[in-house]
Structure 1
Amino acid sequence: MFQVGLTGGIGSGKSTVSALLAARGAVVVDYDLLAREAVEPGTPALAAIEERFGRSVIAADGSLDRPGLGAVVFADDAARADLEAITHPAIRDLAVARLADVPEDGVVVHDHPLLVEMGMASVCDLVVVVDVPEEVQVQRLVELRGMSDADARARIAAQSSRQDRLAAADVVIDNTGTVADLEAEVDALWERIRSAS
């Protein structure tokens, strides 16, 4: 199994690259989806979050109030570290379970916004970083996700720095061009992956 770590800052277009790789035959393990699954009602992680942060971060239907929790943890580094200590092990366990179903000759793409922060770059055969300047990230988050400028910058600041991500990269995909430019970069990446796997 050939393992690709795919990361990029929020608003970089990482999910688009992930979808393009899936269309070419990769098995994608989406850590944003795993993060949601890890805190579904009835999970030990959600119970631990409620114990640490209180009932106010639990919605009326028993699910996690993600915006409410986000408002707490993105304003407080210690609170974010506490949350990560709860969720990261649960997410890792779910990822391991997904890998059990991948054929030996398969290509796995770990679509992971926190690949660098969680120390997963070292276990991947190839690390791919989707990159755009911070101002492009902010613009996309404001225009496409409806965030305020301040919220967008807080989310960006909570992730690894652009420099740290680029330092971990074997391949950098510049996503400031057109869709056709991006497709061409992904085609070249897929050729490299297939020749190496």
Structure 2
Amino acid sequence: MKKNKKRLVVGLTGGIAAGKSLILNQLKKLNWETISCDAISKKLFYRKDILSRITKKFKTCERKKIAKIIFSDKKQKSALERILLPEVLKELRKKISEFKKNGSGCMAVETPLLFELGLEDYFDLIITVYCPEEFQISRIHERDGISASEAKKRISSQIPISKKIFISDFVIDNSGEVKGIKKKLKNILDKINKKSKIIKNIKQFESVHSQKVTLNQKNMNE
């Protein structure tokens, strides 16, 4: 972990529909600064100049239609990324830079493509959230109303979760109940706090004595 006495920037990543937003919301309740790259992307999508380029390229501005196109055609996916990603990363760098310069305490950044985009150096440590693929498929189907085969295409568009787990500082298995997930997150925050003494409000977190904690402490022991 990078030494930083005043502030800590945590990257939060994982598979599609693995539960990253759940963890981000829990950290927000602890008064962490939080950023969602998905939220940034959605906001930028509708910026006039970007929306014009997207509409010109895909002949539609409907996000669901575009999603179906890009997850069926890698070239089209790359085309959308060339339009959106530079602006998303520009905004992300700006927000992190402002926090490191003027902020204090902790910031969590939900970044689905953290490893795919090589953003590891943006963060002091990385937490990966995962769940079994059948859970992902069910959640994607329920959330987006797409078929299992379409859900699998979206899952396979990312780096395999096993690789993400291997190179993360901590991992959270989000296949259980919410109270179990909270317990797992609290254990991770305890470990971080022992190392950095930066999480001032750790005692506010709800303590639930259930579920086994799954942790990858590889980098914390260095």
1:121–1:168 contact (8 Å) kept in structure 2: no
Q: Cα offset for 1:100? A: 4.9
* Equivalent residue number for residue 29 of structure 1: 35
Q: Please, what TM-score do these two structures have when normalized by structure 1? A: 0.87
- Is the aligned partner of 1:81 residue 2:78? yes
- Is the aligned partner of 1:127 residue 2:140? no
- Is the aligned partner of 1:111 residue 2:110? yes
Please list every run of 5 or more consecutive structure 2 residues that lacks an aligned counterpart in the other structure. Answer: 1-6, 199-222
Structure 2 distance, partners of 1:93, 1:155, is 25
Query: 103-112 or 138-147, which moves further after superposition?
Result: 138-147
Q: Give the letter for the 2:150 counterpart.
A: D
Q: Give the letter for the 2:60 counterpart.
A: V
Q: Cα offset for 1:24? A: 1.2
Q: Please, what TM-score do these two structures have when normalized by structure 2? A: 0.78
RMSD of Structure 2 on Structure 1 (CA): 1.8
Structure 2 distance, partners of 1:144, 1:37, is 19
CA 1:41–1:124 in structure 2 vs 1: closer, same or farther (change >3 Å)?
A: closer
Structure 2 distance, partners of 1:18, 1:35, is 17
* Equivalent residue number for residue 57 of structure 1: 60
* Equivalent residue number for residue 69 of structure 2: 72
SS of the equivalent of 1:159 reads coil
* Equivalent residue number for residue 139 of structure 1: 138
Q: Give the letter for the 2:183 counterpart.
A: A
Q: Give the letter for the 2:39 counterpart.
A: L
Structure 2 distance, partners of 1:192, 1:87, is 36
1:9 to 15, 18, 27: 15
SS of the equivalent of 1:117 reads coil
Q: Cα offset for 1:146? A: 2.7
Structure 1 distance, partners of 2:78, 2:166, is 23
Structure 2 distance, partners of 1:99, 1:123, is 8
SS of the equivalent of 2:51 reads helix
Please list every run of 5 or more consecutive structure 1 residues that lacks an aligned counterpart in the other structure. Answer: 59-64
Whichever of the two has the greater Rg, that structure is 2
* Equivalent residue number for residue 212 of structure 2: none
Query: 176-185 or 94-103, which moves further after superposition?
Result: 94-103
Deviation per CA, 1:57-116, whole angstroms, max 9, x where unpaired? 22xxxxxx1011112111111111121121111001122332355343231111011111
Structure 2 distance, partners of 1:191, 1:29, is 22
Structure 2 distance, partners of 1:13, 1:181, is 13
Deviation per CA, 1:108-167, whole angstroms, max 9, x where unpaired? 111011111111123211110001111221122223443211121111111221123212
| Identity level (%) | 27
Q: How many residues align?
A: 188
Q: Give the letter for the 1:172 counterpart.
A: V
Structure 1 distance, partners of 2:95, 2:103, is 13
SS of the equivalent of 2:48 reads coil
Query: 11-20 or 152-161, which moves further after superposition?
Result: 152-161
* Equivalent residue number for residue 158 of structure 1: 157
Structure 2 distance, partners of 1:174, 1:46, is 36
Higher relative contact order (CA 8 A, sep 6+): 1
